Amino acid sequence: MPDNQSLYEGNGHKFMDFSLMTSGIKEYMKAEERFIIERIAGSESVLDIGCGAGRYLQLLAPHVQKIVGIDYAEQMVAMAESVVADLPNVSVINCSAEEITTHVNGTFEVALLAWNTIGNIQQKSHSLVFQNLAQMVGKHIFISSYRLGKEVLEERLKYYKNVGMKIEKIIGDHVIFEGDHIGAAYPRNYFRTLISEAGFQPFIHEISSCGLIVEGRKLET
């Protein structure tokens, strides 16, 4: 399957249109925002993976010393750069999550993968992404994900329809869009294994009927 760059180049701006969100998605977004700001506020440095149009770059900038956002879609990076242009502690880099060690310098206290970013990265690349994060992140990783289940999937499908995404097929909780792009949700044990293998202790936080956040705390070495 190809990377999701072209998917978000075309419809990326619509994903953050609050009027297109279902009630369940709105609840998830609001709960995620409260959780993320509360947990990350006061951090010295943050890496926002899949920063999109810069939502968390803006929200977190007043609460952290430095934040760097990365996104593979050029349209999203351009939008993010525009909204953070006057924020001196924010920078945006156009690169994929698999390439962060090549394009992003330094280490970070916290890494954030918000609003199902993990579900838009090809599963075969997850291990590499978290191997990279193990080298770059000193304290915490926060992964926000859709929950598994029929009701959540139905909520997602309504939302995708509102945004204008064309769905080719559905395999379990993996939605395959036109062009073989994906929007996936994964079991809790999958996240626990992924986090643990990268050297972090996993904790699962149920934040809404549609979403959860997996927290990884760096283990002492």
Which structural domains are found in the chain, ordered by start? 5-147+185-218 (3.40.50.150)
How far, in Å, CA of 167 to CA of 20, rounded? 17
Of 139, 115, 146, 143, residue with least CA distance to 129: 143
Mean pLDDT across the stretch 199-206?
A: 98
Q: What pLDDT shows up at residue 19?
A: 85
Q: What is the pLDDT of residues 73-95, one digit of tens each?
A: 888 899 999 999 999 999 999 99
- Share the mean pLDDT of the chain: 92
Q: What is the pLDDT of residues 12-63, one digit of tens each?
A: 556 667 788 999 999 999 999 999 999 999 999 999 999 999 999 999 999 9
Ordered DSSP codes for 93-121: EE--GGGHHHH--S-EEEEEE-TTGGGGS
Q: What angle do CA 68, 74, 80 make, to 5 degrees?
A: 45
Q: What pLDDT shows up at residue 4?
A: 45
Ordered DSSP codes for 177-206: ETTTEEEE---HHHHHHHHHHTTEEEEEEE
Percent of the chain beyond pLDDT 70?
Answer: 92
**How far, in Å, are 21, 31, 47, 144, 181 from residue 206 at the CA level?**
20, 10, 23, 10, 27
Which residue type occupies 70? I
How far, in Å, CA of 24 to CA of 153, rounded? 11
Identify the burial level of 134 via C-beta atoms within 10 angstroms of its C-beta, where 0-12 means exposed, 13-18 middle and 19 or more buried.
Answer: middle
- Lowest-pLDDT choice from 159-163, 180-184, 203-207, 216-220: 180-184
Band the pLDDT of 220: cuts 50, 70, 90: confident
Q: What pLDDT shows up at residue 17?
A: 77
Does position 200 have pLDDT exceeding 90, yes or no?
yes
Q: What pLDDT shows up at residue 179?
A: 77
* Residue 93 β-bridge partners: 70
Band the pLDDT of 10: cuts 50, 70, 90: low
Q: What pLDDT shows up at residue 147?
A: 97
